[in-house]
């Protein structure tokens, strides 16, 4: 009996005293892999480790998430001559590691939950000029035995000032799960309204709710669901009327069925206000079926590499030869795309659009042929717009009126419409057949 007691005490000593040092390196690797997993979803983000001091029971690390390019970076650079390097987010992390992270009990939200580590992170923003701004809130994380990380970002209501601006926020609670082994990324939470205010105006952000669950498929494509609801965003200044929108929602999902991807997305934007026009509503519903996963991944990879090159414009303009074979395989495998709804409501009326493209799969042994592909295509288009919008378009471009003379658009009461069908090389527009030459 005493031998079993001694063995138990030795085991506990290993877990509490020896294991933390061994687990520390595993925890460091897991944290870095999870950061890189999140960054892999956006080619404009680069993650680097600036330093990492690993101790026996605790470690301290700093990671920099750099905005290499894209619209977010453009916001920082717009109108500023003080940007000398890429804007970035700096994350400082304290790690309590061990199968039983006893050292975490001395800090806020500490836990003895078994795992590789328990962490707490704070963040700073470097807008690109080296001047750091503290970002309120903390990220509490648990690193599981398999390397999966469960994180929670908590932010209490508050305010702060920098330069001549005031930032006010009402709080946030967002939970993120990452698993580098499976490539899964899940985000769920709420961000309450916040604002950036200045003497000549400001930006007000409404509440944001997100629920996303994505996982890497065996082809490298991420599949899953994304649901997002955003409240009003209003931008005000002394130069003109306010811009922004009243509400935005996105509901998208995708799945891998064998070697094919099926996806659908619904998007709604209401109360959009832009310079010169307001009260715009946009509703879109898209369905994509039977997309060849392997070809899609290869095309996406070439596109990402082109965007990340030293000269993206030149790389994108000259990338077709490298993806021509994959495009042919993608089309030969067949696919269906339906734009079931694209409604744009303007003060002058509503423009409605429906599109459908259906390509059956070809014989794998057949030589690829563009004419054969066009003969197999089954497609339709249905466009309807009010007279007022058509007149506005014609005023901007007189050539638009030729579409009526050619029979592409016809008047129907208070609308102009086009109804087109295509099958077996024959195009019918508003009931009039128009043969298409296929001698490609």
- Neighbouring residues of 271: CB distance < 8 A, sequence distance ≥ 6: 232, 245, 246, 247, 278, 279, 280, 281
Is it the case that residue 105 has pLDDT exceeding 50? no
- How do residues 312-350 score in pLDDT, each as one tens digit? 888 888 889 999 999 999 999 999 999 999 999 988 889
Looking up tokens 């042919």 gives 328
Looking up tokens 């930006």 gives 203
Is it the case that residue 11 has pLDDT exceeding 50? no
Name the pTM for this structure.
0.78
**Residue 153 domain-assigned?**
no
Mean pLDDT across the stretch 431-439? 72
**Residue 411 domain-assigned?**
yes
Residues 304 and 282: their CA atoms lie apart, in Å, by 29
Tokens of 216: 């890497």
Q: Who has greater pLDDT, 321 or 31?
A: 321
Cβ(160)–Cβ(136) under 8 Å? yes
- How do residues 361-378 score in pLDDT, each as one tens digit? 988 888 999 888 989 999
Residues 405 and 411: their CA atoms lie apart, in Å, by 11
Domain count along the chain: 1
- Give the CA count within 13 Å in the CB-facing half-sphere of 237: 8
**Residue 403 domain-assigned?**
yes
Q: Who has greater pLDDT, 130 or 153?
A: 153
Look up the domain containing 427 and give its range.
369-440
- Neighbouring residues of 281: CB distance < 8 A, sequence distance ≥ 6: 268, 269, 270, 271, 272, 343, 344, 345
For 231, the 3-state DSSP assignment is: coil
**Residue 147 domain-assigned?**
no
Cβ(122)–Cβ(92) under 8 Å? yes
């Amino acid at each position: 009996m005493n031998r079993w007691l001694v063995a138990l005490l030795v085991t506990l000593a290993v877990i509490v005293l020896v294991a933390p040092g061994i687990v520390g390196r595993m925890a460091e690797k897991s944290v870095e892999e999870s950061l890189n997993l999140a960054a892999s979803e956006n080619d404009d983000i680069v993650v680097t480790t600036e330093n990492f001091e690993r101790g026996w029971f605790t470690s301290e690390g700093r990671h920099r998430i750099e905005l290499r390019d894209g619209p977010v970076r453009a916001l920082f650079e717009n109108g500023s001559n003080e940007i000398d390097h890429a804007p970035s987010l700096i994350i400082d992390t304290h790690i309590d590691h061990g199968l039983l992270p006893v050292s975490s009990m001395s800090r806020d939200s500490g836990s003895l939950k078994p795992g590789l580590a328990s962490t707490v992170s704070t963040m700073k923003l470097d807008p690109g000029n080296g001047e750091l701004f503290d970002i309120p809130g903390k990220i509490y994380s648990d690193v599981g035995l398999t390397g999966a990380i469960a994180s929670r970002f908590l932010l209490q209501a508050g305010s702060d000032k920098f330069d001549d601006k005031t930032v006010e926020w009402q709080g946030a609670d967002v939970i993120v799960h990452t698993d580098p082994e499976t490539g899964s990324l899940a985000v769920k939470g709420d961000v309450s309204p916040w604002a950036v205010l200045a003497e000549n105006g400001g930006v007000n952000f409404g509440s944001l709710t997100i629920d996303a669950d994505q996982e890497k498929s065996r082809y490298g494509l991420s599949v899953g669901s994304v649901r997002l609801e955003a409240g009003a965003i209003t931008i005000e200044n002394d130069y003109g009327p306010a811009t922004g929108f009243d509400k935005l929602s996105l509901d998208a999902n995708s799945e891998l069925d064998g070697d094919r991807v099926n996806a659908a997305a619904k998007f709604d934007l209401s109360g959009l206000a832009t310079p010169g026009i307001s009260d715009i509503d946009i509703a879109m519903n898209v369905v994509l079926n039977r997309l060849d996963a392997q070809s899609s991944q290869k095309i996406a990879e070439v596109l990402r590499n082109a965007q990340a090159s030293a000269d993206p414009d030149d790389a994108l303009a000259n990338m077709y030869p490298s993806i021509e074979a994959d495009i042919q395989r993608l089309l030969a495998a067949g696919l269906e795309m339906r734009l079931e709804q694209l409604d744009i409501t303007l003060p002058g009326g509503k423009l409605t659009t429906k599109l459908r493209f259906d390509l059956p799969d070809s014989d794998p042994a057949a030589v690829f042929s563009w004419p054969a592909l066009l003969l197999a295509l089954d497609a339709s288009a249905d466009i309807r717009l009010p007279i007022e919008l058509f007149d506005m378009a014609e005023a901007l471009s007189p050539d638009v009126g030729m579409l009526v003379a050619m029979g592409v658009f016809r008047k129907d009461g208070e609308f102009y419409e086009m109804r087109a069908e295509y099958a077996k090389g024959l195009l019918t527009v508003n009931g009039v057949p128009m043969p298409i030459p296929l001698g490609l």
